[in-house]
Amino acid sequence: MFYYLHYCFLFIELIFSFMSEINLKKLSEELGLSISSVSKALHDSYEISTETKKRVLAMAEKLNYQPNPFARGLRKNKSNTIAVVIPEIANNFFSLVIDGIQLVAQQKEYHVLTYLTHEDYINEVSTINHLQCGRVDGVLISLCGETASVDHLINLQHTGVPIIFFDRIPETMECSTVTTDDYESSFKATEHLMLAGCKKIAFLCVSRFLSITQKRMLGYQAALQKYKIAFDPKLIIQCNNDNISNQAILKKLLSRKVRPDGIFASVEKLAISTYYVCNDLKIKIPQQLKIISFSNLRTASLLSPSLTTITQPAFEIGKESAELLFRMIKKKNLGGYMNKIVLQSSLIERNSTVK
Amino acid sequence: MFYYLHYCFLFIELIFSFMSEINLKKLSEELGLSISSVSKALHDSYEISTETKKRVLAMAEKLNYQPNPFARGLRKNKSNTIAVVIPEIANNFFSLVIDGIQLVAQQKEYHVLTYLTHEDYINEVSTINHLQCGRVDGVLISLCGETASVDHLINLQHTGVPIIFFDRIPETMECSTVTTDDYESSFKATEHLMLAGCKKIAFLCVSRFLSITQKRMLGYQAALQKYKIAFDPKLIIQCNNDNISNQAILKKLLSRKVRPDGIFASVEKLAISTYYVCNDLKIKIPQQLKIISFSNLRTASLLSPSLTTITQPAFEIGKESAELLFRMIKKKNLGGYMNKIVLQSSLIERNSTVK
C-alpha cells in the first residue's frame, strides 16, 4: 500500500514539476540517478544510502529545487500553516497580537493566514468552515462581536484542528484560551475613576454579548458596589464599529442634562471618539470629564490631555497563544487537553483622570 | 494521460479522505454511486449527466463534504492564496493597507498569507524563496529597508508568479507598482514648513537607500532650492527601527548648539519619537520647533499639539494593489504586462506647524 502510494506521489510530483523550472527530472539527469531514486532520497527513504542522499540534497540545494507545497502537504497531511481569525486589523491591540504570533510562527517555519471577520458572524462562520478541510494545522481566533452560537467552532474542534481562543473567548465551549485579567483590571479602572471623584461613570462597550465585555462590565459593577454607588443601566452605552455613528452616540450621551463625570471605555476607539466629541462640545478633560480606557495606543501619553489606560500585554498575548497552539499541534492527540493562560494588564495613570 | 491523471487524483483523495469524517467513500455510499462517478461529478466531468451532478452536489452540501485543499491545489495548480510581505504590522500605514487588501481578497474568495520582514533582508529573501514553489498565486510586497539586491524578486517573477510592489518599490526592476506622489508631497511638506518660517529643516528617515526615501528627500531638497536655502547634509538624520535608540538620536539632534527649527519626518514613528523628546527637553511645538510627518495616525488631531500630516490613502493603496494583482493572476500570460498606479496623499494642516 505505502509502496504504491510512493509511486502515486512520484507521479503527481512529476506532472507538476513539468510546470516548474527545476524539477525531479532535471535533478535526476544532473545526478545520473533514476527519478524514483531521487524522489526516495528527498523523502529520506531507508532504501537509499546516506551517501546518495547527501549527493541528492546537495544538488537539490545547488539547483534551488523546491518541492511543490501542495504535494508535500498531501504527503505529510500537514500544511505548515496556521490561521489567525480576528475582528479587525487596523487596531493597535490586534496588530500587536499578530506581531507576537508572527514571531513564534517564523521561528517554527510556519506560514500564517490572516482572516478579518469585521465583527460579522456570517464571515466568521464561513471562514471557520473553510478551515475544516486541512488547509491549516491550527487556528488562533478572537471572536467577532456578533458570535451568538459557537457550533461552527465546535465542528472545527471535532475535526481535530487545535484551536486557541485569545482575548474574546467563548464561555460555552471547552477550549484553550489566552486572556487578561479583565474583571480585575476593570474593577481597578472604575475604582481609579471613583477615587478621582467621579460619581456618574459611563461604561462604553462595543459587543455587549461577548463574555469579555460582560467580565469588564461585572468588574465595573463590583467597583460601584464597593463604593455604594447605585448601578444605572442608562450609563451602559452600547456603541458599534463605525466611528461616525459612535461620535453621534457619544454626543448624545455628553449632551444629557445630567451628564456623566467619568468615562470607562472598554475599547480604545471609543476613548478616541470621546476625545473628539469633547473637543466639539468644549468639554474639558479631566476637569469636567475623566476618561480611562483599555488601550495600546503608542500616543496615549502625547494626547491632549494624556490618556490614562489599562494596557493589555498584546504582543505577549500573541506570543503565548502561538506557543500554546504549537504545543497542541505537536501533541496530536488532544483528548481533553486544555490550558487557560491569564496575563496581567497594567493601569497607567495619566492626565485624563487627574483629580 | 488525463484519464490516468484523474484516477491518480482520485486515489490520493481517497487516501486522505480516510482521515476526514466525510469523504468520497461515505458520499458514494449515501448516493449509491461508485466512488469514481462521485469524484467525476464533483469535478464536473462531461462523462456524468447533469442530473447526477446535481444529486451529488446536493448530498455533498448536505454532508458538508470539503475537498482537501492540497488535493485541489495540486489538481488545479492553483492555491487560491496570495502573500503579503511587509516590513512590520504594528504600524498604522501597513495595517490599513492590509485592510484594503483583505477586502478585495475576501470578495475573490482568496486566502491571504502575511509575512513580516522586520526590515531584515535575509528574512525577505527567505520568505520570497518560500513562495517560489506554488504556495501562492501572487505576491504583494513592500520592500524592507535593507533590500540591496532584488535578485530574489526577479527569480520569483521568472517563475511566473505575478508580483505587485506597493509604497516601497524597487527602482532597478521592471514591475507593476502602486505608490503615492512621494516627491510632490514631500516638496509640499517642506514648502509648508518654510512658509511657516522654518529655515533649518531636518529630514528624518529610516531606510536611506530605499527609492521611496530618496524620492521624499529629493522633494525636500527641491523645495529648499526653490526658497534658496542651502542643503545641509547634517540635517539628514538616519534613524532606525528601535524607538529607544531613535529617541537618543533625536535628543542629540535637538540638543545641538544650532538646532533645527523644523522637522520633516518621512516616517510616522519618527514624529512620535520627536514629540517624546520635545517633552523631555521642554522644547515647545510649534513655537520652537515645527513638525510635519507622513502619518496615518487616527489620533493626529488629538495630540498636544495636533500634528500636521501628509496622509497617504493607505486603505486605497491596499485595495488598488490587490485589484491589480488579481487582474494579473487572471491574465496568466504576463509577457511585459506592467502597470504603475500613483495615488495622491493629502497635506492636513494642524497646530504643529502653526506660524
Q: pLDDT tens, A14-64? A: 555 444 445 677 788 888 888 778 877 776 677 788 888 888 888 877 776
Contact yes or no for A114 and B114 at CB 8 A: yes
What's the CATH number of domain A79-179+315-345, 3.40.50.12780, 3.40.50.2300, 3.90.1640.10, 3.40.50.970? 3.40.50.2300
pLDDT higher than threshold 70 for residue A234: yes
pLDDT higher than threshold 50 for residue B128: yes
CA B97 – CA A234 distance, rounded (Å): 38
In chain B, where the domains are located:
2-75, 79-180+315-345, 182-313+347-353
Give the list of residues 6+ apart from residue A135 with CB closer than 8 angstroms, or none.
A79, A81, A83, A113, B69, B111
> pTM, whole model, 2 decimals?
0.83
**What are the beta bridge partners of residue B163?**
B139
Cell 502515486 appears where? A8
Q: Look up residue B206 and give its amino acid.
A: V
Q: Look up residue A239 and give its amino acid.
A: C
Cell of B6: 484523474
pLDDT higher than threshold 90 for residue B55: no
pLDDT of residue A74: 59
Tell me which fold the domain B79-180+315-345 belongs to.
Rossmann fold (3.40.50)
Contact yes or no for B299 and A304 at CB 8 A: no
Q: CB of B149 within 8 A of CB of B138?
A: no
Q: Can you tell me the mean pLDDT for A107-119?
A: 95
pLDDT of residue B251: 97
What's the CATH number of domain A2-67, 1.10.260.40, 1.20.1250.20, 3.65.10.10, 3.40.190.10? 1.10.260.40
Give the list of residues 6+ apart from residue B353 with CB closer than 8 angstroms, or none.
B192, B193, B196, B286, B290, B291, B292, B308
CA A52 – CA A33 distance, rounded (Å): 9
Contact yes or no for A5 and B15 at CB 8 A: yes
CA A328 – CA A338 distance, rounded (Å): 9
Contact yes or no for B102 and A114 at CB 8 A: yes
Cell of A138: 491550527
Residues of A with Cβ-Cβ distance to B269 under 8 angstroms: 298
pLDDT of residue B38: 81
pLDDT of residue A132: 82
Strand bridging mode B340-343 / B111-116: unpaired
Determine the angle formed by the axes of helices A151-158 and A121-130, rounding to 10 degrees: 10
Q: Which pLDDT band holds residue B335 (cuts at 50, 70, 90)?
A: low
Q: Can you tell me the mean pLDDT for B177-203?
A: 97
Quote the strand ranges of A29-110, DSSP E: 81-86
Cell 487582474 appears where? B327
pLDDT higher than threshold 60 for residue B215: yes
Contact yes or no for A132 and B106 at CB 8 A: no
* CATH homologous superfamily, domain B182-313+347-353: Response regulator (3.40.50.2300)
pLDDT higher than threshold 70 for residue B127: yes
pLDDT higher than threshold 70 for residue B334: no
* CATH homologous superfamily, domain A182-311+347-353: Response regulator (3.40.50.2300)
In chain A, pLDDT over 90 holds for what percent of residues?
A: 68
pLDDT of residue B12: 54
pLDDT of residue B271: 97
CA B30 – CA B60 distance, rounded (Å): 10
Give the angle subtended at the CA of A179 by the CAs of A96 and A223, to the nearest 5°. 110
Q: Is A244 within 8 Å of chain B by CB?
A: no
Nearest by CB to A299, which of B73, B115, B303?
A: B303
A116: nearest CA in chain B? Answer: B102
Contact pairs from chain A to chain B, CB under 8 Å: 164
pLDDT of residue A1: 44
Query: Per mean pLDDT, which range of A68-77, B128-137, B343-352 is the poorest?
Result: A68-77
Class of domain B2-75 (CATH, top level): mainly alpha
pLDDT of residue A10: 55
Nearest to residue B263, comparing CAs of B241, B285, B295, B231? B285
Residues of A with Cβ-Cβ distance to B317 under 8 angstroms: none
Quote the strand ranges of chain B, DSSP E: 81-86, 111-116, 138-141, 163-166, 176-180, 201-205, 236-238, 262-265, 290-294, 308-311, 340-343, 346-348
pLDDT of residue B143: 96
Q: CB of B268 within 8 A of CB of B297?
A: yes
Query: Per mean pLDDT, which range of A184-198, A270-284, B135-149 is the poorest?
Result: B135-149
Give the list of residues 6+ apart from residue B154 with CB closer than 8 angstroms, or none.
B173
Q: What are A166-186's pLDDT values in tens digits?
A: 999 998 899 999 999 999 999
Cell of A314: 498584546
Q: What are A192-202's pLDDT values in tens digits?
A: 999 999 999 99
pLDDT of residue B132: 82
B107: nearest CA in chain A? Answer: A123
Q: Which pLDDT band holds residue B21 (cuts at 50, 70, 90)?
A: very low
Q: CB of A165 within 8 A of CB of A87?
A: no
Residues of A with Cβ-Cβ distance to B89 under 8 angstroms: 89, 95, 98-99, 102
Q: What is the DSSP code string of B224-275?
A: HHHTT----GGGEEE--S-HHHHHHHHHHHHTSSS--SEEEESSHHHHHHHH
Q: Is A304 within 8 Å of chain B by CB?
A: yes
Burial of A174: CB neighbours in 10 Å, binned 0-12, 13-18, 19+? exposed
pLDDT of residue B224: 98
Give the list of residues 6+ apart from residue A164 with CB closer than 8 angstroms, or none.
A138, A139, A140, A141, A175, A176, A177, A178, A321, A324, A325, A328
pLDDT of residue A19: 43
Nearest CA to CA, how far is B102 from chain A (Å)? 7
Nearest CA to CA, how far is A238 from chain B (Å)? 22
Average pLDDT, chain B: 89
Q: Can you tell me the mean pLDDT for A268-293?
A: 97
Q: How far is CA A195 from CA A199, A201, A233, A285, A353, in A?
A: 9, 12, 21, 16, 10
Query: Per mean pLDDT, which range of A123-132, A259-268, A276-285 is the poorest?
Result: A123-132
Fold match between B2-75 and B79-180+315-345? Answer: no
Map residue A179 onto helix, strand or coil: strand
**What are the beta bridge partners of residue B115?**
B85
Q: Is A116 within 8 Å of chain B by CB?
A: yes
Q: Which of residues 133-152 of B touch A (CB under 8 A)?
A: 133-135
pLDDT of residue A133: 77
Q: Is A92 within 8 Å of chain B by CB?
A: yes
Q: In this structure, which long-range contacts are made by residues A71-78, counting pairs with CB atoms below 8 Å and at least 24 apart in sequence?
A: A71/A9, A71/A12, A71/A13, A71/A16, A71/B70, A71/B74, A73/A134, A73/B70, A73/B73, A74/A9, A74/A12, A74/B12, A74/B16, A74/B68, A74/B70, A74/B71, A74/B74, A75/A9, A75/A43, A77/A134, A77/B16, A77/B19, A78/A137
Q: Which pLDDT band holds residue A117 (cuts at 50, 70, 90)?
A: very high
Contact yes or no for A90 and B96 at CB 8 A: yes
Q: How far is CA A278 from CA A100, A296, A349, B108, B142, in A?
A: 34, 21, 20, 41, 38
Query: Per mean pLDDT, which range of A59-68, A260-269, B78-87 is the poorest?
Result: A59-68
Strand bridging mode A138-141 / B111-116: unpaired
CA B158 – CA B162 distance, rounded (Å): 9
CA A235 – CA A231 distance, rounded (Å): 8
pLDDT higher than threshold 70 for residue A221: yes
A39 HSE (CA, 13 A, CB side): 22
- Backbone torsion region of residue B328, taken as left when φ is above 0, otherwise alpha when ψ lies between -120 and 50, otherwise beta: alpha
Q: Which of residues 33-72 of A touch B (CB under 8 A)?
A: 64, 66-71
Map residue A315 onto helix, strand or coil: helix
Cell of B55: 444529486
Q: Which of residues 268-287 of A touch B (CB under 8 A)?
A: 269, 272, 275-276, 279
pLDDT of residue A207: 86
Element (H, E) at A141: strand A138-141
Nearest to residue A213, comparing CAs of A274, A141, A123, A147? A147
Cell of B330: 487572471
pLDDT of residue A256: 95
